[in-house]
Amino acid sequence: MAFFALTGKKLQEIVRAAEGDANFRLVWGGLALTSCMATWLLKKVLLRHSKELPPPAVPGVPVLGNLLQMREKRPHKTFTEWAEKYGPIYTVKMGSQTMVVISSPELVKEAMITKFSSISTRKMSKALSILTAQKKMVSMSDFGAEHRMLKKILVTNLLGHSPQKANRQIRMNAFFKLVDSIFEEMKNSQGLINVREHVKQALFPFTLYQVLGRDPDSVFVKELGRNVPRWEMFQALVLDPLEAVIEVDWRDFFPALKWVPNRVEAKVRAVDNKRNAIVGALIAEQRQLLANGKPSDCYLDILLTEATHLSEKQLIMTTWEPIIESADTTLVTIEWAMYEIAKSPMVQERLLKEINEVASARLVVEDDLPKLKYLDAVVKETLRKYPPVSLLPPRHVDEAVKLGGFYVKKGWQIIINAYGISYNKQTWPNPEVWNPERVYNDATLDMGIKDHRILPFGTGKRLCAGITQAMYIIPMVVAHCVQHFQWALPPQDDSKSVVDTVFLTTHKLHPLEALAYPRTPSHLPTV
């Protein structure tokens, strides 16, 4: 205490002696000014950091982050549950990777449209990189010159309004085939129909026909040394890639260890090699037909004669992409729609009444679709409750950006939870209930074009190129099935029927088997 008292007195004497010293006053003033500036800068830094708070973080464990909480292959449901707790934007840690999960229409618009330039780059898993040949698919490529070129080829020659109009009869033939196959099976099945199998058997040949101008029963694949039948083509071109793409490669979450060998990569590369060999064989056959003067006037002919600037890898991917997307995503939605219709007699009867009022005793045709408002509601409500792609492929944050008022760092990833948006309770009361009435005559629900309450086809500049074709095929298949048959679930059906599973798309875990009772003796005439 004596020391502090002595020091205090001495300090007072020094200050009194220096009060008249001009140099001392100058130094003291400088110190005071420096202190004020330091205080101001500190406040500014603190204020800036308070305005740059990251989104809420889901608690995890060191090193692994939230990986252990994502062991089930239904991440869309886990993300949706977390959105109810942490809000429409939050972060998760997947190993060393930080991901921002978005689950509201407003934030989707901000991320996908307003600030698209900051987060337009695709972030690929190892499996997806292999299966897309390093982003050489329209749906998976980064937005830029190559993306625009590939999308223009696909839309101009296959998926746009003009080529879709030209392919109308090909689609009608597929619808006839579907209805006829159901009538044929009813002769021996006592009415129990595997809906998925019948739709697949109708849509896959249609998909091949619009791409190849033919529906081959088999193709000789040099790399395999044998003919590959159509059922194996479907397995190799559709099912195997969908299963391989969700294989979990732990190196995706720890990029520093990407050099470590992994059996998952070997499995994915085997799927990729077989897919490439089969598509390559189909292309080789098409080249031979052209050389022999037998053009098919189809999409692949156009690629081979007019898109000669494409590399062989681009050609394979540009040929394969419409096959897998047409054969799978529409199948998923049709099966879910028929499941809901089969268990909802009142909806089925109202839909049939509308169809009869519009088409009477003839077959529904595509020109009828604008008049079938309730059918449109059935399809849109199915796409809401069962979005075919639950999680849109991740995007890389190229530059720091604010989303929803939160600071999102450069290098993070953005995941759009399409399922969570469809189940957002603020937008959709009782979202687990399938109710076409909620979207009936809702002209603003354009499925991602301007409205973001449901995103079955993505949104913004990355809107799916196949939306036009999908919105022909899905309602037409549903209409023809209801027009020709009454549907019901079998008595033994139970809750397991509504369980979904995720490939790249949200399949029904158990194929739909429903009872069908004919309303007509055969398929109706078109006039």
Give the span between the Cα atoms of 134 and 127, in whole angstroms. Answer: 10
- pLDDT band, very low/low/confident/very high, at 100 (cuts 50, 70, 90): very high
pLDDT of residue 19: 46
Write the DSSP symbol of residue 71: -
User: What is the tens place of the pLDDT at every residue in 193-223?
Assistant: 999 999 999 999 999 999 999 999 999 999 9
Give the span between the Cα atoms of 203 and 471, in whole angstroms. Answer: 14
Tokens 């309770």 belong to which residue? 425
> CA geometry: angle at 369 spanning 368 and 370, to 5°?
100
- pLDDT band, very low/low/confident/very high, at 1 (cuts 50, 70, 90): very low
> Is the confidence at residue 415, as pLDDT, over 50?
yes
Give the span between the Cα atoms of 36 and 1, in whole angstroms. Answer: 32
What residues have CB less than 8 Å from 104, skipping those under 6 apart? 88, 89, 421, 424, 426, 427
Is 298 flagged in the annotation as binding?
no
The 10 Å Cβ neighbour count of residue 254 is 15
Q: Which stretch of 45-49, 213-217, 500-504 has the lowest confidence by average pLDDT?
A: 45-49
pLDDT of residue 250: 84
CB 520 within 8 Å of CB 359:
no
> Is the confidence at residue 2, as pLDDT, over 80?
no
Tokens 């001009």 belong to which residue? 22
Q: Which stretch of 121-135, 200-214, 398-412 has the lowest confidence by average pLDDT?
A: 121-135
> Is the confidence at residue 374, as pLDDT, over 80?
yes
Write the DSSP symbol of residue 431: T
Q: Is 345 helix (H, G, I), strand (E, B) or coil?
A: helix
Phi-psi region of 415 (alpha: psi -120 to 50; beta: other; left: phi over 0): beta
Q: Is 222 helix (H, G, I), strand (E, B) or coil?
A: coil
Comparing 270 with 33, which gets the higher pLDDT?
A: 270
Residue range 125-151: average pLDDT? 89
Q: Is 448 helix (H, G, I), strand (E, B) or coil?
A: coil
DSSP-assigned letters across all residues of 49-63: HHHTPPPPB---BTT
Nearest to 91 by CA among 412, 368, 327: 412
User: What is the tens place of the pLDDT at every residue in 273-286?
Assistant: 999 999 999 999 99
Give the span between the Cα atoms of 178 and 474, in whole angstroms. Answer: 13
Query: How does the average pLDDT of the chain come out, rounded?
Result: 88
Give the span between the Cα atoms of 248 and 498, in whole angstroms. Answer: 25
Q: Is 306 helix (H, G, I), strand (E, B) or coil?
A: helix
pLDDT of residue 523: 86
What residues have CB less than 8 Å from 124, skipping those under 6 apart? 132, 135, 140, 393
Give the span between the Cα atoms of 64 and 507, in whole angstroms. Answer: 29
Identity of residue 496 = K
Share of the chain above pLDDT 70, in %: 88
DSSP-assigned letters across all residues of 368-420: GGGG-HHHHHHHHHHHHHS-SSSBPPPEE--S-EEETTEEE-TT-EEEEBHHH
Q: Which two tokens stand for residue 393?
A: 């492929």
- pLDDT band, very low/low/confident/very high, at 27 (cuts 50, 70, 90): very low
> Is the confidence at residue 120, as pLDDT, over 90?
no
- pLDDT band, very low/low/confident/very high, at 296 (cuts 50, 70, 90): confident
The 10 Å Cβ neighbour count of residue 445 is 21
Q: Tell me the whole-structure pTM to 2 decimals.
A: 0.87
> SS3 string of 86-148?
HCCEEEEEECCEEEEEECCHHHHHHHHHHCHHHCCEECCCHHHHHHCCCCCCCCCCCCCHHHH
Q: Is 492 helix (H, G, I), strand (E, B) or coil?
A: coil
